[in-house]
Amino acid sequence: MGEQEGRSVCLVIGAGAGIGGSVGARFAAEGYHAVLCRRSDEAGLLRLVEGIRRNGHDATGYLLDVAHDGAMEERIESVERDIGPIEVVVYNIGAQIGNRSLDETPHRTFELGWRLGTFGLFRVAKALFPRMVERGGGTVLVTSATAAVRGNAGQHSHAAAMGGRRLLCQTLNAEFAAQGIHVVHVLVDGAVDAPDTLGRMLGKDAFEALRAERGSRDALLRPDRMAETYLHLARQHRSAWTHEIDLRAWTDVPWFNSNGIGRSVAL
Amino acid sequence: MGEQEGRSVCLVIGAGAGIGGSVGARFAAEGYHAVLCRRSDEAGLLRLVEGIRRNGHDATGYLLDVAHDGAMEERIESVERDIGPIEVVVYNIGAQIGNRSLDETPHRTFELGWRLGTFGLFRVAKALFPRMVERGGGTVLVTSATAAVRGNAGQHSHAAAMGGRRLLCQTLNAEFAAQGIHVVHVLVDGAVDAPDTLGRMLGKDAFEALRAERGSRDALLRPDRMAETYLHLARQHRSAWTHEIDLRAWTDVPWFNSNGIGRSVAL
Amino acid sequence: MGEQEGRSVCLVIGAGAGIGGSVGARFAAEGYHAVLCRRSDEAGLLRLVEGIRRNGHDATGYLLDVAHDGAMEERIESVERDIGPIEVVVYNIGAQIGNRSLDETPHRTFELGWRLGTFGLFRVAKALFPRMVERGGGTVLVTSATAAVRGNAGQHSHAAAMGGRRLLCQTLNAEFAAQGIHVVHVLVDGAVDAPDTLGRMLGKDAFEALRAERGSRDALLRPDRMAETYLHLARQHRSAWTHEIDLRAWTDVPWFNSNGIGRSVAL
Amino acid sequence: MGEQEGRSVCLVIGAGAGIGGSVGARFAAEGYHAVLCRRSDEAGLLRLVEGIRRNGHDATGYLLDVAHDGAMEERIESVERDIGPIEVVVYNIGAQIGNRSLDETPHRTFELGWRLGTFGLFRVAKALFPRMVERGGGTVLVTSATAAVRGNAGQHSHAAAMGGRRLLCQTLNAEFAAQGIHVVHVLVDGAVDAPDTLGRMLGKDAFEALRAERGSRDALLRPDRMAETYLHLARQHRSAWTHEIDLRAWTDVPWFNSNGIGRSVAL
């Protein structure tokens, strides 16, 4: 890994076949070393890493359980030591578990939502921001969801986790923006064409049917196109930073006009 | 306690000399049995209970650590069994710890904020809503803070907890409003004349100075006056329910016009 | 009218059989002289006034075209001179015209929406606030609608007017709250059981069918129940004022979860 | 102008030395014919147009009074006929007049704010959207201000106009997004280094002092950098559109943490 030492790193936490993988690949194409982390599916991770390398760009992959105390801190430490300074973090961990009534939401599920959705980002900031401040800056792109701005039926765990995370982004900016760290809350307000999240939630057949119906007319959010906006945000000049942005397909009704009906697959 | 059996209960979780104590007393004056719970200061708790009783109304007090798993569930169980059906809950647990930089906010502080601010309300709903649904309804009045709608410097733990809690209120209403449970998010947007919260945060002398300067012209939120609005909310007819309401002193600048400067005591 | 001179006046601008009429009657029952103004239907106005008087309370009615420059200013002047000081204003003028595409919304319709929805409230403030400041205070209760917080298909005129009005309420409070004038933005987020607005929009038969289906289970906002909250707001102590509050039937989905489907009659 | 016929046009309404001029130049550099419109200062307009042409790009300038009925409609008609199809509109008309108390805000000022801030955008949509729909799409980038999301002292006219405009953007998207028209509400939340707006408001000396103090450390929004984000928005793939985005300098406190103090030059 010698020749890559010192390369700027784009660390993707939550790198599946979807937003995480596409954004990682996009940053790699710009010269970043993409470090892709995900909880499971080593084969899928390898495919993403090799896809990036085949295009002549740099990538490394790790399995990482964000809910496991210490794991993320150790990974950040080792990436900084062995690969290079983490310039960009894409925090792409969702906490969506589908709609579940209160009765179907045990205490441990509610807690896990918080651990992944809220506490994980806090831990990244604790582990990484002192380094970023010392280096004069950094960028954190937080993939967020409709549930970050409004509750809805069955979203007890998800909305509490995402709503807390959105305000955490604001407190982090309040303390760190003027120290050069740029945190962006990216409100993904619609169904994403992502096999590893939406695909798993719907099942293979329903997902392919949805793709056939909506994908052909760009009526699903396309991760490769979203990646262009992620890249733009990371490149914004510090005189004109964005802290919150929404993204949805042209055909999608925004969250404030929607009850999820007709958007049954809304993430 | 025999003669009180079957009395409708107003359960106040977080009952100090401030909003909790005043709201409890106000509901007791309307005929509810006020059950006051707080984490510590048994003497203070006793004073509140005796104050209510001296006026000829019903009250009982318990020490209760919301962060302790199972404690709240047991208390709800025993109150329902021994005192009467809980018709109204006043969830008055804050998670304000003053402004602390990220560096001064350890993992355990962030987690405790969530445990008190967010998870505690979830646990109340889990323990109590099935009973309320069976009885055809109930009311939950959630005292909230500026930090529930926006992050700010030093509010990492507080804003994440309160922001999550606000959306939890929305998910609870989405599932339970049409089953008769009325959850209200009461956005207390200013300094409250409360010895047990603001008083402790500022220290005795600073608090008395503030009271002398602002209290005389009603420039601090008065808990006894706030209690009138809490009572009104609990009495709203189901054809015209409020789910979110703000409260501030007439002299106070609202959260969306304020950086906290000049409101150094903002809760 | 001599014996009423000097009575505190509650001026209702937009007093039909619905919110305006009910709120006027409620304040009259508390001892205010209710001055009811509406654009047309003198017979309907008379019925409201006589209904209040039959209960032994004070009321006067006027036809008033808010869109007509000078008319409102003259009315305020004459009420103050001939009846008594206006302590409470209920600004109950809507600008809802049903859903109309951009093509179906001529320039004059868009302008009329603004004239009724936004400019009218500004003109009330210009004409009345100097008097209220001199007297040490007053209350303005502004009936608002879902369209004040989000746009939606076909709401070009309505949403622009109401969105502007909501922020006008905030600017008025920013300047006048600390001078004792309490402006409340009441977000009525659902269908109201109001013959003179919803009834006319739907037509008699559809309205009666809706009432039969929803009214019996309190699934329409009831003006007489809403009036209790209006009264409470006017009575709030200045140490604990509300500036924004929502009202909806227990069965209604809030605006941030709704596209209007299933709420086809949403005002 | 023959050789330019048929070139895609970027129409900038409100093109001064600031956001409008910079965005126009940026789009011209990408091959658009920039059509720059402003109310007055023909010499300044000429300088902008010639600056673009000197770089080998296409631009035309017109004086245009947005408040004058019919003027904008005629200009859109003639541009479409003589220059080319308008693909992108930058609606950059502000309505900021500094802080003025209610007493200092005459009826005609309040109305002019609406005419420029709200009605003007409505008229653009009426005149242009049928053409855009016929062509399959278009982009409208609306420069907005802090006053679009919250009222504040002295902002009666400005906040009412901008708040209405923001919701108008939402109603336009609700009807036209799925027809290919992309409207973006760009919330410019801070002071812009713009001689023609901030410069005139502050006066030459104060503006130069501010620039000396803040510009050197990128603590003012730089129009040339903002233009990069405007361009990105116009290029977003329709599967991942943004409808609202904020922009502020890294050192600026966002609107929800600010009372304007310390941001005395906030636009």
Would the pLDDT of C222 be above 70? yes
Residue-averaged pLDDT of chain C: 93
What per-residue confidence (pLDDT) applies to D6?
64
Cβ of A259 within 8 Å of Cβ of C255? The answer is: no
Would the pLDDT of C200 be above 50? yes
Cβ of D253 within 8 Å of Cβ of B259? The answer is: yes
Neighbours of chain C (3+ CB pairs under 8 A): A, B, D
Structure-derived torsion over alpha carbons of residues D246, D251, D257, D258, reported in degrees to the nearest 10 = -100
Q: Which two tokens stand for residue A261?
A: 């009906």
Beta bridge partners, A177, equal none
Please give the sequence-ordered ranges of beta strands (E in DSSP) within C116-217, or none if there are none.
Answer: 138-145, 181-188
* Domain membership flag for residue A267: no
Would the pLDDT of A4 be above 70? no
* Domain membership flag for residue B12: yes
Distance (Å, whole) CA D162 – CA D146: 9
What per-residue confidence (pLDDT) applies to D227?
98
- Are residues C253 and C206 in contact, defined by beta-carbon separation less than 8 angstroms? no
More confident residue, A112 or C216: A112
Facing residue for D261 by CB, picked from B150, B255, B261 = B261
What per-residue confidence (pLDDT) applies to C6?
64
Tell me the CATH number at D250. Answer: 3.40.50.720
Cβ of B166 within 8 Å of Cβ of A163? The answer is: yes
Would the pLDDT of A224 be above 90? yes
φ, ψ of residue B63 to 5 degrees: the values are: -80, 140
Q: What is the ipTM of this complex?
A: 0.95
Distance of CA D108 to the CA centre of its chain: 23
Would the pLDDT of B2 be above 50? no
φ, ψ of residue D54 to 5 degrees: the values are: -60, -30
pLDDT digits (tens, 9 = 90+) for B26-41: 999 999 999 999 999 9
Residue D142, amino acid: V
Cβ of C237 within 8 Å of Cβ of B251? The answer is: no
Q: Out of B4-8, B49-53, D107-111, which region has the weakest mean confidence (pLDDT)?
A: B4-8
Cβ of A101 within 8 Å of Cβ of B175? The answer is: yes
Distance (Å, whole) CA C72 – CA A84: 70
Give the model's confidence band at A234: pLDDT under 50 very low, under 70 low, under 90 confident, else very high. Answer: very high
Cβ of D259 within 8 Å of Cβ of B258? The answer is: yes
Contacts of B63 (CB under 8 A, 6+ apart): B37, B38, B39, B40, B42, B45
* Among A38, A33, A147, CA closest to A95: A147
What per-residue confidence (pLDDT) applies to A95?
77
Percent of chain A with pLDDT over 70: 94
pLDDT digits (tens, 9 = 90+) for D172-187: 999 999 999 999 999 9
What per-residue confidence (pLDDT) applies to B149?
96
Give the model's confidence band at D267: pLDDT under 50 very low, under 70 low, under 90 confident, else very high. Answer: very low
* Among C148, C153, C154, C98, CA closest to C121: C148
D94: left (phi over 0), alpha (psi -120 to 50) or beta: beta
What per-residue confidence (pLDDT) applies to D3?
45
Residue-averaged pLDDT of chain D: 93
Beta bridge partners, C13, equal C37, C91
Average pLDDT over residues B234-240: 98
Structure-derived torsion over alpha carbons of residues D78, D79, D82, D83, reported in degrees to the nearest 10 = 180
Nearest CA in chain B to A163: B164
Would the pLDDT of D73 be above 80? yes
Q: CB contact, 8 Å: D151 with chain C?
A: yes
What per-residue confidence (pLDDT) applies to C126?
98
Domain that holds residue D50: 2-257
CA quadruple D235, D240, D245, D251: dihedral sign: negative
Would the pLDDT of D74 be above 80? yes
Facing residue for B259 by CB, picked from D149, D150, D257 = D257
CA quadruple C130, C136, C141, C147: dihedral sign: positive
Neighbours of chain B (3+ CB pairs under 8 A): A, C, D
What per-residue confidence (pLDDT) applies to A260?
60
What per-residue confidence (pLDDT) applies to C98?
83
Beta bridge partners, D36, equal D12, D61
* Domain membership flag for residue D117: yes
Read off the DSSP letter of residue A195: I
What per-residue confidence (pLDDT) applies to A229?
98
Cβ of A168 within 8 Å of Cβ of B150? The answer is: no
Nearest CA in chain A to D258: A174
pLDDT digits (tens, 9 = 90+) for C1-58: 334 456 899 999 999 999 999 999 999 999 999 999 999 999 999 999 999 999 999 9
Facing residue for A171 by CB, picked from B107, B119, B152 = B152
* Domain membership flag for residue C254: no
* Domain membership flag for residue C267: no
Residue-averaged pLDDT of chain B: 93
Report strand pairing: C244-247 vs A9-13. unpaired
* Domain membership flag for residue B265: no
C143 contacts on B by Cβ (under 8 Å) = none
Report strand pairing: D59-63 vs D181-188. unpaired
pLDDT digits (tens, 9 = 90+) for A26-64: 999 999 999 999 999 999 999 999 999 999 999 999 999
The total domain count for chain B is 1
Structure-derived torsion over alpha carbons of residues D186, D192, D196, D200, reported in degrees to the nearest 10 = 120
Give the model's confidence band at A6: pLDDT under 50 very low, under 70 low, under 90 confident, else very high. Answer: low
Cβ of C247 within 8 Å of Cβ of B242? The answer is: yes
Average pLDDT over residues B122-135: 98
* Domain membership flag for residue B102: yes
pLDDT digits (tens, 9 = 90+) for B165-220: 999 999 999 999 999 999 999 999 999 999 888 888 889 999 999 899 898 899 99
Would the pLDDT of A109 be above 90? yes
Q: Out of B20-24, B127-131, C104-108, D94-98, which region has the weakest mean confidence (pLDDT)?
A: D94-98
Q: Which two tokens stand for residue D252?
A: 């600026």
Distance (Å, whole) CA D123 – CA D115: 10
What per-residue confidence (pLDDT) applies to A266?
33
pLDDT digits (tens, 9 = 90+) for B84-113: 999 999 999 987 788 999 999 999 999 999
* Domain membership flag for residue B206: yes
Average pLDDT over residues A216-244: 96
Tell me the CA distances in angstroms from B68 to B119, C1, C29, C156, one per residue in order.
11, 66, 50, 52
CA angle C42/C46/C48 to nearest 5° reads 120
CA of C53, closest CA in chain A: separation in Å? 43
